[in-house]
Amino acid sequence: MKITLRRSHALSTMAAGLLLATFGVTTAFAADTPLLSNRYELPRNYESEISAAEAYLKAVVGEDEHEDRNEHEGEGKRPVIVDVRSIPEHLAGHPKGAYNLPYPFIVQDCATISADGACTGPGPKTNQPDADFVAAVEQAIPDKDTPIYTLCRTGHRSVLAANLLTADGYKHVRNIWQGFVGQTKVDFYLQGPLDLNHDGVITDDDKDGWRYYQHLPYTRKLIPERLFQPYLYLYYAK
């Protein structure tokens, strides 16, 4: 029911837009009006969303070096991925060359963790203050024209981070929509989980993120200068 209502709202909005366009009427939103366009329907003040696949091509493979730049990216600048997941999550796997600048928490203590390094239950967290996160990004990526793609586990923390960076003056921030792990897809009509790989069970392999169903390459290799420097020792702790 909730999805149906959202679809109806979207169709109504589309219809209204067509009518306005037909009669030559335009609408404008205030520059500071938050836009809802991510999977968690959180306010969006950053540039836009980007798929995990496109982020891989542009930031890891670098296909965009052979393409004309567009309004989403700073001219002539290579995009970078800022992985805002916790240090254990980054250690368990991340896109090649990604920065790890955790937000809104740095580590979490818990009894059990998943294969991707995330806690599977509650536990105390070492939080990352907004100002400290922004300062860490400014130190690692001082040029605010650099295209930044924020990444987290499912696309929630990365939205929060993207908004902070945009407020700080970064001009080309995009959020990786699905995240590194992603979420289980839901059938629109039946409202049930989708078995994307048709193996008869719903597992992490059916989640739509970078690591699982999309099977995009990732690595555990660390680049010291791209890690969160105040907690550098945690990356190498045994």
Q: Is residue 7 included in any domain, yes or no?
A: no
Q: Is residue 28 included in any domain, yes or no?
A: no
Q: Is residue 15 included in any domain, yes or no?
A: no
Q: Is residue 80 included in any domain, yes or no?
A: yes
**Residues paired with residue 21 on neighbouring β-strands, in sequence order:** none
Which pLDDT band holds residue 75 (cuts at 50, 70, 90)? low
pLDDT for residue 17 is more than 60: no
Number of independent structural domains in the chain: 1
In terms of Cβ atoms closer than 10 Å to its own Cβ (0-12, 13-18, 19+), residue 45 is middle
Region at 131 (left for phi over 0; alpha for psi -120 to 50; beta for the rest): alpha
Distance CA(55)–CA(125), nearest Å, equals 29
Measured from the Cβ of residue 177, the count of other Cβ atoms closer than 10 Å reads: 22
Distance CA(105)–CA(43), nearest Å, equals 20
Q: Is residue 25 included in any domain, yes or no?
A: no
pLDDT for residue 64 is more than 60: no
Which pLDDT band holds residue 36 (cuts at 50, 70, 90)? low
Q: Do residues 139 and 22 lie in contact, with contact meaning Cβ atoms separated by under 8 Å?
A: no
- What's the domain range around 106? 34-232
Q: What is the pLDDT of residue 10?
A: 38
Q: What is the CATH number of the domain that holds 195?
A: 3.40.250.10
Distance CA(14)–CA(31), nearest Å, equals 21
Q: Is residue 57 included in any domain, yes or no?
A: yes
pLDDT tens per residue, range 181-200: 999 988 878 788 998 888 88
Q: Is residue 139 included in any domain, yes or no?
A: yes
pLDDT for residue 23 is more than 80: no
Q: Is residue 200 included in any domain, yes or no?
A: yes
Three-state SS for the chain is CHHHHHHHHHHHHHHHHHHHHHCCCCCCCCCCCCEECCCCCCEECCCEEECHHHHHHHHHHCHHHHCCCCCCCCCCCCCEEEECCCHHHHHCCECCCCEECCCCEEEECCCCECCCCCECCCCCEEECCHHHHHHHHHHHCCCCCCCEEEECCCCCHHHHHHHHHHHCCCCCEEEECCCCCCCECECCCCCCECCCCCCCCCCHHHECCCCCCCCCCCECCCCHHHCCHHHHHHHCCC
**Residues paired with residue 113 on neighbouring β-strands, in sequence order:** 119
